[in-house]
A and B are shown apart, each in its own frame.
Chain A
Amino acid sequence: MMHNRSISVAQRVAPALLRFTLGAAVPLLALSATQPAVAAPAKFDVEAVKKQLLSGNGEEIAKALETIKQAGAAAKPIVPTLNSVLKKGSTAPLLVALIETASKLEDPTSSAAIAPYVRHRDKSVRQAAAKALLHTKGPDAVKALRRGLRSRDPVVRGTAAGGLGTLGAKEALPDLFAAFDHRVGEAAVSIGQLCEADGCKDFLKRVGKVPFDIMTSGLDQMLFRPPASLNDDAKIGIIGKLRELGTPEAGKYLADVAERWPKDWSKRVKAALDAAVKAVGKGKTSDDDEDEDDDE
């Protein structure tokens, strides 16, 4: 039930994000699309794969990368070789494959090798690099993605903005706010994941200025953060702000949050949600009418 509702929010936000973000055609980052590496059943021959990777032969390298992908976690020992190949460079298609393979292995040591490619002139290479860093993580990844927020490439900006929150890069908050104010909508999610009470309040100042469905992608992150990460007072403050807004879409959103609120989570916050829903109403919008028509 909750899962379905989360998808519903994401589906509602994605088109608005596209409208909000200059340059359009920026896909909403779907972190869940990349599955963590899984253990391979077959034995992984490190030396053989290494030989293939260093062969200088495009086909051999491609085969090696396929083997690594299939091997999953068992291919970890090949990471240094993979990094070494990345550091020496290759053709654009092979670079994309190398970067994606390194991404699958999720080894932080690969971030330093991948980072320079975020600034490659070939967009397929730099976009693959930005996405890969979200999986290889580490300080090098954070540094490169923070720089990616300043990129000319809207996809790199969006990827960096959406990913820095997942990486827990609190030091990137000022840049994320700047990016959000430059219409990089993906920054909302990261801000929602990272902000402290004051920073979250600062984000709330954008309510009414930024399309509401963009704001909710950040608000959702804030409201559903564990109490240890963002306390009840801060959450009640957010609810109060939305209540003050009093728009149908705010009412609808509050009702949606109230419905998804875990039963064993804060009763105070739930009470504030219910009171706000009561005050604002469940906010039936014209979009809902269309949805209902569609259902019929």
Chain B
Amino acid sequence: MSPRTMQLSKLSSFVCGAALLVACSGSNALSGAFDTTWQNDGGQSISSVQRELASASIPKGTGLALGVVKGGLVATTLSGKSWKYTGSVDARPKLSGDVVVATGDNQLFALDAGSGEKLWSISSGGRSLRGAGDDGTYTVASLGALNGGQSRLVVVKRGGSVILDAEPEPEIGTPAIVGGIAFVPWGNQYVSAIDVTTGAERGRLLMRQQVTHAENVGGELYFGESQLLRFDPKIGAAASGGGTLAALPKHDLPGTPRWFAPGAEVLSPSASAPDRIRLIAKPTGDGKFENDRMAATYFRVAMGFGASDGELRWAKLVDSDILGGAAAKGGFAFCTAKGEVLLVDSASGAKAGTLNLGSPVMSCEVQAGDFTVPSNAPERTLAEQLGEVIATKDPQMVPAQRFLLTKLGSMQDDSVTKVLIDLASNTDTPPALYEDARKLLAERRSGADFMLQALEREYDFLDDVLLPPPVGPLADALAAMKEQRAAGPLAHHLNDPSDTPDDIKRAAKALETLASADQFSDLKIFFALYRATASDDDIIAAVVSVAKAMLRVGGKEGEALVAEAAKDPLTNSEVQEALQGLKPPAAEKKPEEPAKKTASK
């Protein structure tokens, strides 16, 4: 099947005349582009294009944060110059190089990124912007219907003359342009390199990864969507799975963030959930990333990871959803729903500056361009940063909080133990986080002093302590750490009815090994109170554990109490059965001594 491309000279003439467009000068037909009968040329044609463009350059672009607001656009360059545009915007605008491209009021228009001045405007033909690229001379844009279909490819010279205007049959993605060659992704696997002056396809890239974007990233060209392939001398190898690929480390991140939205879709001018859950990174060639960092956003938190090792390095909480961001040299720029632009040091996660768009925004696009984020020393330890995010009361944040809690749990700092205790002792902690915190606490082997401090607390109506400490997990951890100092507080908790039966069971279990004669009094009271009244499995298990502890530390009195309870018909039958199988530790050791073994027989 031959491609069905359509020369739009008639349409363009109509549009120029009817819509009083600026500087319409004509368009060209596509020739051979998007031909589905094309045969894989092993990367020859795209290599040839690469060689031809080796010396061509595209601008790194203006560092800019651009927000869509009701009635237009608000922007600030990352160096602090603000501008506004008043007019309708019907799709997400695109930043490329030194221009902003957008559609609205049936117009496709370009603005100067530094000043907001309109560069040109043509009819959008009722379609909305999917994506655009600019090389300093030409702007290429792809448009489509809001619900898909009706692809349109337009190339406009800086002065406003339409160089190419076509309606390719396949859905085309976000294009880029270098040295008068437009790179147009389509069919999820191809990028056609089209000479904008002739409309001819000069080469074609076949990718083995999903491709819906051709992007100018800091003056270099990349193709892809979830991974980016660099347009460099190795591009010819892409057909066989080679080339210089920039892939972010795989993570099980909250909300499954994506690096780029599908490039062949028209994005709403209002941000949606996927805009708030993003990966942000800037490839620098040879598969590496700027500052060796990648950021992941989840609503109000940005998390910084090592791009090569995937390790979490920082977490930054902001006061409204992060709608967009970009990686710059030295750091990241994040744009929030409140219209704040936060500059963050990529190494430390420290705030390196803030800018303001002047009003809340519906969506926000950021281009780092040639901007450098100043460096700043860490404000707090990573554990403290995670603690702050995790402690935030925002139900929407729970998946990110749970993720960060897992990271926090893997750190050995004593302060982490305190954060976990606070989470597990706070009535406001969401249930999922509460349970996670308890599990992680039980596994901790550091921060014993914080654990002991926590055990000093108990439910106290008058002092407004309305949630007891996480006694069970603390008991597990302290027993594993063989922390004798825990015996007293744990024994005391046995007789606190505000602790859950599960906590009591675990405290009693810990006391099997930790208790000394000093705790015999508490053990006796618990045993007396529950040997006959135990009504659930946890308390029954606790009574049996306490009996074992009493046999170990209670001497003759302990032995007598356990023996008496084992015979008493009023003792809970399950407890009684278990008690009948217990022997004092000394008696258990006897069989190990051969001489006494014989004697006992």
The chain A residues found within 8 Å of chain B, CB to CB, are 56-58, 87-92, 94-95, 116-117, 119-122, 125-126, 149-153, 157, 175, 178-179, 182
Q: B498 near A: Cβ within 8 Å? A: yes
Beyond the given pairs A120-B529, A121-B501, A179-B461, 9 more chain A to chain B contacts, judged by CB atoms under 8 angstroms and listed by A's residue number, are: A56-B569, A90-B570, A91-B570, A117-B529, A125-B533, A150-B463, A151-B461, A175-B462, A179-B462
Query: Once bound together, how far apart are the Cα atoms of A4 and B498, in whole Å?
Result: 41
**Is there an interface contact between A88 and B564, defined as CB atoms closer than 8 Å?**
yes
Residue from B463, B530, B569 in contact with A89 in the complex, judged by beta carbons closer than 8 Å:
B530
Interchain residue pairs with CB less than 8 A apart (12)? A56-B568, A88-B564, A89-B529, A89-B531, A119-B496, A119-B497, A121-B501, A121-B530, A150-B463, A153-B497, A179-B461, A182-B461
Number of A-B contacts (CB under 8 A): 70
**Is chain B's binding surface mostly helix, strand, loop or mixed?**
loop
**Is there an interface contact between B462 and A178, defined as CB atoms closer than 8 Å?**
yes
Known: A120-B533, A125-B533, A152-B498. A87 touches B462 (CB 8 A): no
Residues of B500-530 whose CB lies within 8 A of A: 501, 525, 527-530
Q: Which residue of A has the minimal Cβ distance to B504?
A: A121
**Is there an interface contact between A116 and B528, defined as CB atoms closer than 8 Å?**
yes
**Is there an interface contact between A116 and B498, defined as CB atoms closer than 8 Å?**
no
In which size bucket is the chain B interface? 20 to 34
Known: A56-B568, A58-B570, A121-B539. A91 touches B462 (CB 8 A): no
Contacts of B527 in A (CB 8 A): 89
Residues of B449-470 whose CB lies within 8 A of A: 459-463
Known: A58-B570, A91-B533. A119 touches B495 (CB 8 A): yes
Shortest C-beta distance, A24 to chain B (Å), equals: 16
Contacts of A57 in B (CB 8 A): 569
Q: B423 near A: Cβ within 8 Å? A: no
Known: A149-B461, A175-B462. A122 touches B533 (CB 8 A): yes
Query: Once bound together, how far apart are the Cα atoms of A201 and B357, in whole Å?
Result: 58
Contacts of B561 in A (CB 8 A): 88
Contacts of A116 in B (CB 8 A): 495, 525, 528-529
Shortest C-beta distance, B25 to chain A (Å), equals: 80
Contacts of A150 in B (CB 8 A): 459-463
Q: B532 near A: Cβ within 8 Å? A: yes
Q: Which residue of B has the minimal Cβ distance to A58?
A: B570
Contacts of A152 in B (CB 8 A): 459, 461, 497-498
Contacts of B565 in A (CB 8 A): 88
Shortest C-beta distance, A82 to chain B (Å), equals: 14
The 10 A-B pairs of least Cβ separation, nearest first, read A89-B528, A121-B497, A178-B462, A150-B460, A91-B532, A92-B533, A116-B525, A152-B498, A150-B461, A150-B462
**Is there an interface contact between B528 and A149, defined as CB atoms closer than 8 Å?**
no
Residue from B528, B533, B570 in contact with A87 in the complex, judged by beta carbons closer than 8 Å:
B528
Shortest C-beta distance, B152 to chain A (Å), equals: 67
Residue from A90, A117, A119 in contact with B532 in the complex, judged by beta carbons closer than 8 Å:
A90
Contacts of A182 in B (CB 8 A): 461-462
Query: Once bound together, how far apart are the Cα atoms of A116 and B561, in whole Å?
Result: 17
Contacts of B462 in A (CB 8 A): 149-150, 175, 178-179, 182
Shortest C-beta distance, A176 to chain B (Å), equals: 10
Query: Once bound together, how far apart are the Cα atoms of A94 and B495, in whole Å?
Result: 20
Q: Which residue of A has the minimal Cβ distance to B571?
A: A89
Shortest C-beta distance, A152 to chain B (Å), equals: 5
Render B559-585 as a binary contact track against A, CB cut-off 8 A, 1 for contact: 001001101111000000000000000
Residue in B497, B527, B530 whose Cβ sees the most chain A Cβ within 10 Å: B497
Q: Which residue of A has the minimal Cβ distance to B458?
A: A150
Contacts of B532 in A (CB 8 A): 89-92
Query: Once bound together, how far apart are the Cα atoms of A56 and B461, in whole Å?
Result: 38
Q: Which residue of B has the minimal Cβ distance to A120?
A: B529
Contacts of A120 in B (CB 8 A): 497, 529, 533
Shortest C-beta distance, B538 to chain A (Å), equals: 11
Query: Once bound together, how far apart are the Cα atoms of A151 and B462, in whole Å?
Result: 9
Contacts of B564 in A (CB 8 A): 88
Query: Once bound together, how far apart are the Cα atoms of A182 and B568, in whole Å?
Result: 43
Shortest C-beta distance, A1 to chain B (Å), equals: 39
Query: Once bound together, how far apart are the Cα atoms of A117 and B495, in whole Å?
Result: 9
Q: Which residue of B has the minimal Cβ distance to A86?
A: B528
Query: Once bound together, how far apart are the Cα atoms of A119 and B460, in whole Å?
Result: 12
